[in-house]
């Protein structure tokens, strides 16, 4: 996982965002397709993979930022405190939505329309968050 200094450059950091987003979107498409085709077992397996992907790639990236990058930027630029709080709240929304998915999905291990909607909302929140983070915190 990239640490503070490695995340400071806009181009490098954006490519991490874009790579993670494209993969999550593709996996989400697979889950949606399998759901529509009523291929329940495969749909469950794909949803497990997608949950794991959000945890190990996107939430882990957020954790690393809060432990490194955000701490460094807040120390150097106290005037960015508000932006860092806003961006941390975005991370929390991703964690909260993912927890909801896990609670629902793990209960009966069944993908529902609600779970699909929640996966979609993760993509939307993450996309907004990534662009704001790039714009507010990162240097060319
Ligand atoms: Fe972030
Ligand atoms: Fe980021």
The pLDDT > 70 percentage for the chain reads 97
Q: How far is CA 68 from the centre of its chain?
A: 17
pLDDT in the model for residue 109: 85
Which ligand has the nearest atom to the CA of 138?
A: 2
CATH architecture of 4-137: Up-down Bundle (1.20)
**Is residue 93 pLDDT above 60, yes or no?**
yes
Calculate how far, in angstroms, residue 63's C-alpha sits from the geometric centre of ligand 2.
10
Calculate how far, in angstroms, residue 41's C-alpha sits from the geometric centre of ligand 1.
33
**Is residue 3 pLDDT above 60, yes or no?**
no
**Is residue 2 pLDDT above 60, yes or no?**
no
> Mean pLDDT over residues 105-110, rounded?
84
**Is residue 1 pLDDT above 70, yes or no?**
no
Q: What is the pTM of this model?
A: 0.93
Q: Which band of pLDDT confidence, cut at 50, 70 and 90, is reported for residue 108?
A: confident
Calculate how far, in angstroms, residue 61's C-alpha sits from the geometric centre of ligand 1.
7
> Mean pLDDT over residues 31-60, rounded?
97
Calculate how far, in angstroms, residue 61's C-alpha sits from the geometric centre of ligand 2.
6
pLDDT in the model for residue 107: 83
**Is residue 72 pLDDT above 90, yes or no?**
yes
> Mean pLDDT over residues 48-66, rounded?
97
């Amino acid at each position: 996982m990239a640490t503070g200094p490695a995340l400071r450059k806009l181009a490098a950091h954006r490519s991490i965002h874009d790579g993670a987003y494209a993969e999550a979107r593709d996996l989400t498409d697979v889950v949606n397709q399998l759901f529509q085709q009523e291929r329940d077992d495969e749909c469950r397996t794909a949803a497990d993979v997608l949950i794991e992907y959000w945890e190990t790639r996107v939430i882990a990236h957020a954790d690393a930022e809060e432990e490194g990058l955000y701490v460094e930027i807040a120390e150097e630029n106290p005037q960015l405190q508000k932006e860092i709080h806003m961006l941390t709240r975005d991370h929390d929304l991703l964690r909260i939505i993912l927890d909801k998915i896990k609670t629902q999905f793990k209960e009966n291990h069944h993908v529902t329309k609600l779970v699909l909607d929640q996966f979609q909302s993760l993509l939307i929140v993450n996309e907004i968050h990534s662009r704001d983070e790039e714009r507010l915190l990162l240097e060319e």
